Amino acid sequence: MTKEIMDVREIAKYLGFGEKKIYQLIERGGIPVSRIGGQYRFLKKSIDQWLIGKVKATKPRPWAQVRGKPLKTKQLLTKVKETKDPLERRLIFMGVLTRETEKEGVRPVVVGGNAVQFYTFGGYATDDIDIAFSDHHLLNKILRGWNFSREGRHWYNRELDIALESPISRLSGEELERITTVEMYGLTIYILGIEDIIIDRLTTYVHWESIDDGRWAKELIQIHKKGIDWKYLEKRAREEGTGEALKKLKR
């Protein structure tokens, strides 16, 4: 049976391509792919949808471009609205937001529950996007221009079905070194590294006695155990006072 999550060798076999062709598609943003722990991974569902799109298209090109030219922001937001899958819709939105903010030299990073949802391939459910973003004035300006309204700590656009919050202004240097970069339909999304997401869940589990977060920390470890930087994870766990809990989960 075909796997739901495939590596480069497996996706090449599934598509009937050589591995070199897959890497060429990745480099030009021509295929939906995620990069986790330095390894490329492909969701069968996204690949199948991509193939359907290829049947309709006269020639392959990144989703966010037309004849080599980037789509305008309004067109991209329409694509966000049309996307049914919640995780995919939020990732595409973050790609659009990142494209806009990087023009000003600021890079948003997905943290919190939406990052857990990404690393569990949609297994975790969340209603909003949490980001680390250093320039809230710029964020306010962009979101107001996209018809978002502010309600408490969150920004909402019900037409896009997107809720966003920026609870963190800055990440540490170590966290920034381990950011996961996702290339999706010609857009780029930055997500907090798997080790730091595990620590986030583990800290809540230990210090706030959240059994649910402990379960998700375990789930993340089970899924990504081969790609985890255990030396860094154990160091962070000691710093956060969660070292013993991590040892138990690791066993």
CATH code at position 24? 1.10.1660
> 51 and 78 in one domain?
no
> 155 and 128 in one domain?
yes
Of 240, 108, 130, nearest to 187 by C-alpha is 108
Of 58, 53, 28, 26, nearest to 42 by C-alpha is 26
Of 81, 77, 59, 79, nearest to 68 by C-alpha is 59
- Specify the range with the lowest mean pLDDT, choosing from 7-21, 130-144, 192-206, 229-243: 7-21
The residue to which tokens 């006695």 are assigned:
209
Q: How many CB atoms lie within 10 A of CB 19?
A: 13
- Specify the range with the lowest mean pLDDT, choosing from 67-71, 97-101, 166-170: 67-71
> 38 and 9 in one domain?
yes
> 74 and 120 in one domain?
yes
Of 95, 87, 78, nearest to 146 by C-alpha is 78
Contact 183, 29 (CB under 8 A): yes
> 96 and 151 in one domain?
yes
The pLDDT of residue 58: 42
CA distance 185 to 82: 15
Of 143, 172, 192, the residue that ends a domain is 192
> 71 and 160 in one domain?
yes
> 87 and 110 in one domain?
yes
Count the domains in the chain. Answer: 3
> 47 and 11 in one domain?
yes
Domain CATH for 167: 3.30.460
> 203 and 232 in one domain?
yes
> 236 and 142 in one domain?
no
Of 174, 192, 210, the residue that ends a domain is 192
DSSP 164-199: EEEEES---HHHHHTPEEEEETTEEEEE--HHHHHH
pTM of the model: 0.75
Question: What is the domain extent for residue 68?
Answer: 64-192
Of 146, 167, 192, the residue that ends a domain is 192
| CA 58 to each of CA 32, 53, 55, 69, 73: distance values in angstroms, whole numbers, following the listed order | 18, 10, 8, 16, 23
Give the model confidence (pLDDT) of 204-227 as tens digits. 999 999 999 999 999 999 888 888
> 179 and 70 in one domain?
yes
Give the model confidence (pLDDT) of 166-200 as tens digits. 999 889 888 998 899 988 888 899 999 999 999 99
> 188 and 71 in one domain?
yes
- What kind and span of H or E run contains 66? strand 65-66
Question: CB-hemisphere CA count at 13 Å for 112?
Answer: 17
